Amino acid sequence: MTDNRKPPADVFRYAPAPESRSIVDIKPSYGLFIGGEFVDGHGKSFKTISPSTEEVLAEVAEADDADVDAAVKAARRAYDRVWSKLPGRERAKYLYRIARIIQERSRELAVLESIDNGKPIKESRDVDIPIVAAHFFYYAGWADKLAYAMPQSAGRGTDPQPLGVAGQIIPWNFPLLMLAWKIAPALACGNTVVLKPAETTPLTALLFAEICQQADLPPGVVNIITGAGGTGQALVGHPGIDKVAFTGSTDVGKAIARTVAGTDKKVTLELGGKAANIVFDDAPLDQAVEGIVTGIFFNQGHVCCAGSRLLVQESIADELLAKLKRRMSTLRVGDPLDKNTDIGAINSAEQLARIRELSDIGEAEGAGRWSPECELPQHGFWFPPTLFTDVTQAHRIAREEIFGPVLSVLTFRTPAEAVEKANNTPYGLSAGVWTEKGSRILKIANQLRAGVVWANTFNKFDPTSPFGGYQESGYGREGGRHGLEAYLK
Amino acid sequence: MSDRIDVRKTYKLYIGGAFPRSESAYSYEVKDNKGKFVANAALASRKDARDAVGAARKAFGPWAGRTAYNRAQIVYRIAEVMEDRRPQFVQAVVKSEGLTASKAEKVVDAAIDRLVWYAGWADKITQVVGNANPVAGPYFNLSTPEPTGVVAVLAPQESSLLGLVSVVAPVIVTGNTVVVVSSYERPLPAVNFAEVLATSDVPGGVVNILTGSAATVAPWLASHMDVNAIDLVGVAGDHGLATDLEVAAADNLKRVRRAPVAEPDWAVDPGLDAMTAFLETKTVWHPIGV
């Protein structure tokens, strides 16, 4: 894999290896999960489709203001009567139960996630769902140890208290994983939740609701309401919630910050990014290429911390790009349920339009566009892995989050220039550094204004590791001991 | 009784280590608690606020880049110099807050002690709020706090010295730089404090002090795109203004320390919140292997 020749086409010809769909049972329609039961919503319903085939998967209720109110009231009742009175060690056991059920039903969850979201089964199976289970395991263990979680002098004393009802809104790129990031710490700390999954990916959250029932979680501790932006706004603005946790776009994050201004609602925001992935001339190039590919093509580039700006030292730019193009030529785009698929479907027609628009702008502004030859399926939403060369900092594709499999390549000469370019963004979620020199890693990592820095690796996640941004990438941390702080007072 | 005419002091702003008058050339009358004229203080304008932000931004990188030990020594040095000028601060607190001399002495003592307390945090906060994280894989993973950047602070209106020190020290000791709007009616301790800062090895621009009205200046700071965070304690009790400022702060997602209903009791143990509100957590991963 170290030479730059194009591989013979037949080397990478694979027979189809589809994962069976028979393990999932998608119902024709779903209600809202409020107070431990599925109930009909008062609003309209909407369809959720498979982005890889455009087939309608199910009808899902769109929660209106009255539904949001009912969900918040159910969460408040559960908080007042049950959950806030339950000792931490008992809350822990519910969370452990949930974690175990997620492991037991992991394949079902993975297949359903890939069908509804479009991501490759190897990612939902090997990354998303295992980390979901791990997240519940991790925070389960905190539930009866909160007195040890924070410094005593932090004003919370030895008996930190939950906030109450948390309103949580999550995106479509990692539907069940984002649910776990939100629900596990909230429940461990003694809060109850109303969670709204993304409009295009509600199905695994609704299956999670069933898992809550299987675990005999007290009714109302977890409420799942489906809907679009209006439902989210009603939730954020509801006077009955004590906390807003949001993952999504920076624009919506700012709107939420304005909505909660002047209230006592605590807020954590996990927003957009435009991460720099910096490759120095002494980097192990083959590893760096793998890291660049993981950084931008993992999950179709639908990743807020994606390494969407490659900053490569000028002296190795040609060599690196040749290797990168060769590697990109081996990426397999197609059926998310095929076990050999590397890049699945773009999540929605809307997102595909956005990726196309920004890519066309990149071309119009003078950057060089390149994609490997690849055959895209006839139906569904697809975009080939793409890179742009000769990108400058003024180009929109270097400034705006594309949220797709599109890499902008910029060059630099000195470490100082690399840092300056990396930090030249209103975002600050993540960054990557590739070099064999340890002292340089530590220096550069120190200077990067980003919440997560991956050195000689990229896009790694773990429940024990805090995640969150600087600047306009939002505030607060999720994961680790730091993640508890968002749900305690 | 001497017939010497006393020399009165001009009270100025403190921006980038210098003492300019307001660019607007406006000033306002400062009176003591009995309504007697004390001085004309500079009335900071929008332009002064922007200059102060520029100075704070310029100072941020070098200040954050200093060793924690060095920042600790510098904040401790502020305390030393204040102790040396204790009578001046006592007098300023008596005039500003209308306290008896003995009560004012206690306030000044508490302010100096608070600086000493915060000075020690510079090289300890990382150990208390940072973390080594045991990830499930062959990776080194470390979370450490870093300063947020340029912080705007609306200093408390009532507690003109202890309150001021209690909101400035925690911001700078961790490596942030600050633009402070002092108490409007009680700016004297803030001006004296600026003179202490100027002679305490604090690099110019790390602390910038504006005297004037929070209601006038704060909207420019709250909406300034190069300010990273804002502490609204100085508008405690003014829910309408605090809400407007929080809305303006959302434009670039400033970290906001909200205004309480009433000014807090500055005498109590402050805890870590005044520091952690203006810290970011950075997590660095690296593979472990041979």
With beta carbons less than 8 A apart as the criterion, state whether A243 and A161 touch. no
Residue B160 lies in a domain: yes
- CB neighbours of A295 closer than 8 A, spacing ≥ 6? A275, A277, A306, A307, A308, A432, A458, A459
| Alpha carbons A176 and A132: distance in angstroms, whole number | 7
What is residue A11's predicted lDDT score, i.e. its pLDDT? 62
Decide: A51 and A347 in contact? Cβ < 8 Å: yes
**In 3D, which of A174, A61, A197 has the Cα closest to residue A118?**
A174
- Size of the A and B interface in Cβ pairs below 8 Å: 112
User: Per the CB < 8 Å rule, is A457 touching B139?
Assistant: yes
A471 interfacial to chain B (CB closer than 8 Å): yes
**pLDDT of the residue at A152:** 59
Q: How confident is the model at residue A156 (pLDDT cuts 50, 70, 90)?
A: low
Distance in angstroms (rounded) separating the CA atoms of residues A75 and A142: 21
Q: Of A309, A201, A192, whose CA–CA distance to A247 is shortest?
A: A201
Query: Do A439 and A456 form a contact (C-beta atoms < 8 A)?
Result: no
Q: What share of chain B is helix, strand, coil (3-state, %, to 5)?
A: 45, 20, 35
Facing residue for A468 by CB, picked from B134, B281, B284 = B281
Predicted pLDDT of residue B9: 87
Q: Which residue of B has its CA nearest to A431?
A: B284
Q: Which of residues 107-146 of B touch A (CB under 8 A)?
A: 128-129, 131, 133-137, 139, 141, 143
Q: Is A455 on the interface with B (CB under 8 A)?
A: yes
Pick the closest to residue A232 from A76, A352, A118, A67 (CA basis).
A67
- Left (φ > 0), alpha (ψ -120 to 50) or beta: where does B40 sit? beta
CB within 8 Å: A154 and B276: yes
Q: Hey, of A246, A433, A437, A482, which one would you mutate to test binding to chain B, going by the most B CBs within 10 A of its CB?
A: A482
Residue B122, domain member (yes or no) = yes
The rounded mean pLDDT for chain A is: 95
Per-residue pLDDT, A157: 61
Question: What φ, ψ does residue B30 adopt, rounded to 5°?
Answer: -105, 130
Distance of CA A360 to the CA centre of its chain: 26
Beta B139-147 vs B131-132: how paired, if at all? antiparallel
Sequence-distant (≥ 6) Cβ neighbours of residue A442 within 8 angstroms: none
3-state secondary structure A151-178: CHHHCCCCCCCECCEEEEECCCCCHHHH
Compute the half-sphere exposure of residue B156: CA atoms within 13 Å on the CB side of its CA: 20
Nearest-Cα distance to chain A for B163, in Å, is 18
Q: Is residue B94 part of a domain?
A: yes
Reduce the DSSP state of residue A395 to 3 states and report it.
coil
Whether A460 contacts chain B with CB within 8 A:
yes
User: Which of B57, B286, B288, B290 is the best substitution to test chain A (most A C-beta atoms within 10 A)?
Assistant: B286
> What does the pLDDT read at residue A8?
55
The confidence score (pLDDT) of residue A13 equals 75
Instruction: Tell whether A453 is within 8 A of chain B (Cβ).
Output: yes
Q: Decide: helix, strand or coil at residue A381.
A: coil
- Asked if A338 contacts A213 with a C-beta cutoff of 8 angstroms, the reply is no
CB contact under 8 A, A480 and B131: yes
Residue A173 has pLDDT above 60, yes or no: yes
Q: Kindly list the residues from chain B whose CB atom is less than 8 angstroms away from the CB atom of residue A457.
A: 139, 285-287
Report ipTM for this prediction. Answer: 0.95
pLDDT of A6 over the 60 cut = no
Count of C-beta atoms within a 10 Å radius of residue A483: 29
Q: Into how many domains does chain B fold?
A: 1
List pLDDT tens digits, range B194-204.
Answer: 999 999 999 99
Encoded amino acid at A325, one letter: K
Closest-approach residue (CA) in chain A for B149: A471
Written as one string, the DSSP assignment of A296-307 is HHGGGG--TT--
Identify the residue among B143, B223, B275 best suited for mutation to test binding to A, counting A beta carbons within 10 A and taking the highest: B143
C-alpha B278/C-alpha B275 separation (Å) is 6
* pLDDT, tens only, A342-378: 999 999 999 999 999 999 999 999 999 999 998 899 9
- Kindly tell me if the per-residue pLDDT of A9 is higher than 70: no
Helix A129-142 × helix A88-104 angle, to 10°: 170
Strands (E), A248-363: 266-270, 276-279, 309-313
Query: Which stretches of chain B score pLDDT less than 70?
Result: 1
Mutate which: B135, B244, B246, vs A, most A CBs within 10 A: B135
Q: What is the mean pLDDT of residues A314-322?
A: 98
User: Quick one: pLDDT band at residue A119, thresholds 50, 70, 90?
Assistant: very high
**Interface membership of A271 toward B (CB under 8 Å):** yes
How far is residue B44's CA from residue B215's CA, in Å, rounded to a whole number? 11
Active site positions of A, annotated: 270, 304
Residues of chain A with Cβ-Cβ distance to B134 below 8 Å are 464
Q: Who contacts B35 (Cβ-Cβ below 8 Å, separation ≥6)?
A: none
What pLDDT, on the 0 to 100 scale, is given for residue A95?
98
Round the CA-based radius of gyration of chain A to a whole number and report it: 22
Give me the residue label for tokens 């009909």: A40
Quick check: is B12 in a domain?
no
* Contacts (Cβ under 8 Å, ≥6 apart) of B142: B130, B131, B132, B133, B283, B284
pLDDT at B33: 84
- Condensed to tens digits (0 to 9), the pLDDT of residues A421-469 reads 999 999 999 999 999 999 999 999 999 999 999 999 999 999 999 999 9
- A454–B135 C-beta distance less than 8 A: no
Please answer yes or no on whether A254 and B251 come within 8 Å at the CB atom: yes
Strands A452-455 and A430-434: parallel
Amino acid making up residue A198:
A
Asked if residue B11 is part of any domain, the answer here is: no
Q: What is the DSSP string of B232-285?
A: -GGGTT-HHHHHHHHHHHGGGT-EEEPPPSS---TTS---SHHHHTTEEEEEEE
Q: Does A249 touch chain B (CB under 8 A)?
A: no
* Residue from the list A258, A271, A464 with its beta carbon closest to the beta carbon of B134: A464
CB atoms under 10 Å from CB of A371, counted, come to 17
Rounded mean pLDDT, A144-165: 81
Per-residue pLDDT band at A414 (split at 50, 70, 90): very high
Taking contacts as CB-CB distances below 8 angstroms, the residues of chain B near A481 are: 131
Minimal Cα–Cα distance from A54 to chain B, Å? Answer: 37
- Chain B, residues 61-90, CB within 8 A of chain A, namely none
Residues of A in contact with B275 (CB under 8 A): none
Residue B119 included in any domain: yes
CB contact under 8 A, A482 and B281: yes
User: Is A451's CB within 8 Å of B134's CB?
Assistant: no
* Residue B154: inside a domain: yes
Terminal-residue alpha carbon distance, chain A: 53
Residue of chain B whose Cα is closest to the Cα of A271: B253
> With left for phi above 0 and alpha for psi between -120 and 50, is residue A342 left, alpha or beta?
alpha
Q: Which CATH number fits the domain that encloses residue B160?
A: 3.40.605.10
- All domains of chain A in start order, with CATH: 29-271+470-487 (3.40.605.10), 273-455 (3.40.309.10)
Burial of B63 (0-12, 13-18, 19+ CB in 10 A): buried
3-state SS assignment for residue B142: strand
Alpha-carbon gap, residue B160 to B167, rounded angstroms: 11
Phi, psi of A439 (to 5 degrees): -65, -35
Chain A residues whose beta carbon lies within 8 Å of the beta carbon of residue B141: 462, 464-465
Domain span at B280 = 27-287
Asked if the structure places residue B64 within a domain, the reply is yes
